[in-house]
Amino acid sequence: MTDVQSSNSLFDMVWQEDGSVTFVANNGKYVAAKKSGHLFANSDKVDDMEKFYFFLINRRSLVLKCEQGFVGYKSSTSSKLESNKASYETITMERDEKGVCYFRGAANHKYWTVSEDGSIAVESDKPQGFYIELREPCKLCLKTTDGCYLVADKNGAFKVNGTDPNSATLWEY
């Protein structure tokens, strides 16, 4: 058996605003799933059949790390999260339909929520949806269902800040 690589086996992953991902083949066409389950790279448009949803399978817990440190509580009495901690907090992840994930604090079992100032707090009884976008083999971006990416500032602030994926923090997980 020979190990022959071909450009026909290369695809570009394109993240969509709704949290889905599309695949573009080297012929410039989108990969579409037929009702039979077969995949074909022959579509010129992005519709439901061309959208795929990303989930981390078999992973109920998540630990996030960036250049500043781990994501953890600002203090032992605070529900706000920061991204410059020396030790990590375990995040419980729940999965919903179409790629939506909900994050919970392991200590208080409350859901993540975006505060008015854009910071993330672990204080809600009602889940708020996020998308996970795999960007590198061990790095991902987090995005609210409203389309805003989570960023880590040098001062440890952990918040949503804009819709540009290039300004989003790449989180090790």
Can you tell me whether residue 17 is helix, strand or coil?
A: coil
Give a three-class secondary structure readout of the chain.
CCCCCCHHHCEEEEECCCCEEEEEECCCCEEEECCCCCEEEEECCCCHHHCEECCCCCCCEECCEECCEEEEECCCCCCEEEEEECCCCCEEEEECHHHEEEEEECCCCCEEEECCCCEEEEEECCCCCEEEEEEECCEEEEEECCCCEEEECCCCEEEECCCCHHHCCCEEC
Predicted local distance difference test score (pLDDT) of residue 113: 96
User: Model pTM?
Assistant: 0.85
**pLDDT at res. 2:** 57
What are 50-77's pLDDT values in tens digits?
999 988 887 889 999 999 999 999 988 8
DSSP bridge partners of 13: 23
All domains of the chain in start order, with CATH:
7-53 (2.80.10.50), 61-172 (2.80.10.50)
Partnered with residue 101 across adjacent β-strands are 95, 130
Residues of the chain with pLDDT under 70: 1-3
pLDDT at 62: 92
